[in-house]
Amino acid sequence: MTDFAFFRLPNGHAWLGLGPFTESADMPEGTAFFINDFDLTDPKPWKQPANLVEITSTADLQAVVGEATKLKVVWEKPHTEGFKMAFRRIRREVVSGRLSKMVPVLTECGVVVDGTPYSLLHAVMRAPANLWGYGRVTQGRGFLGATPELLFQREGDEVKTMALAGTAKPGADDAFLADVKEIEEHEIVASYLMERLSTLGEVQRDQRHLCEAAGLRHFQTGLRVTCRQPQAPNDLVRLLHPTPAVGCLPRTEEWLGKLREYRSFMQVPGFFGAPFGFSHAGAQHFVVSIRGLGWEGSKLTLPSGCGIVGGSAFDHEWRELRLKREAVVRLLGL
């Protein structure tokens, strides 16, 4: 099996779409996956499978994808200098007041020495209940992961989303709750979403709270709006993506261009931070593709990002990048 897409809800219910896929620019009738890169370069991101299989257990998944051979990877140590240069330049722009936040990404690389990466779907299927699973495999390349970040859910006129920003290890909650830098980073994302959603209707915002996702603590704020007019999923993607949780603020062409330059320089895979969607039974679920890995042939890429704001320090951000990659490695059993 070399052509499929996968999506799992936090309640453990999942779907596996089997190719060949019919592609379209706009959401088709029936079940379909939305798969694009970070820069939304695919003009036909909606992928409708020839066959759809509901997955409610790892046994269901095994019946379709076969036995799970444990993946063995030899990892390369990530280079510090490239990210350090990006960090210094971004922080200089933040301190000058021209930029509020930007999210550079570091990519750790590895080589597969045994097994196939798509066997990791079994680990994604077993992910904790507050994560969404996603994956796409085609012709020797693909990506998959289990993300804690929702871009939006739409059902009828209601749109729900979340601000998820600020990261710490469990065990130091009191310090995290009072961390000015982490709170600032989170509030930048929450305020951005409030502003964007307010163009659709009156926004309801929950209080900021702590959540745990695959061994890490985050600040999370839920937001929802009842839209005054019907909103197509493609329009909602363009309205919200990229949020400052994975992009930049201001979200202007100038700064998005700088962000693309950094992503290209750091060889960030296109899937990372991109919207990944699933439309089924009248509801659309779109997540932000983080906490995952990609591959092409035997080369594996494991990206992680961090938000640079005024209070950022290099050692702290470098540690956060490592913690996020380690969380993915633990989650996927690598």
For 318-332, the pLDDT digits (tens) are 999 999 999 999 999
pLDDT of 32 > 70? The answer is: yes
Mean pLDDT to the nearest integer, 257-261: 96
pLDDT (tens digit, 9 = 90+) per residue, 9-19?
Answer: 999 999 999 99
pLDDT band per the 50, 70, 90 thresholds, residue 1 = low
**Amino acid 278: pLDDT:** 98
pLDDT (tens digit, 9 = 90+) per residue, 261-303?
Answer: 999 999 999 999 999 999 999 999 999 999 999 999 999 999 9
Q: Are the C-beta atoms of 16 and 133 separated by less than 8 Å?
A: no
**Amino acid 135: pLDDT:** 97
| Chain mean pLDDT for the chain | 93
**Amino acid 68: pLDDT:** 67
pLDDT of 67 > 80? The answer is: no
pLDDT (tens digit, 9 = 90+) per residue, 204-218?
Answer: 999 999 888 888 888
Percent of the chain with pLDDT over 70: 99
**Amino acid 187: pLDDT:** 92
Specify the fold of 3-331.
Answer: Anthranilate synthase (3.60.120)
Q: Where are the domains of the chain?
A: 3-331
* Residue 211, beta-bridge partner list: 218
pLDDT (tens digit, 9 = 90+) per residue, 143-183?
Answer: 999 999 999 999 999 999 999 988 888 877 788 888 888 89
The three-point CA angle 120-303-20 to 5° equals 50
Mean pLDDT to the nearest integer, 227-234: 94
Residue whose pair of structure tokens reads 């996702």 in the numeric block = 213
**Amino acid 182: pLDDT:** 87
Mean pLDDT to the nearest integer, 71-77: 92
Residue whose pair of structure tokens reads 């307010």 in the numeric block = 198
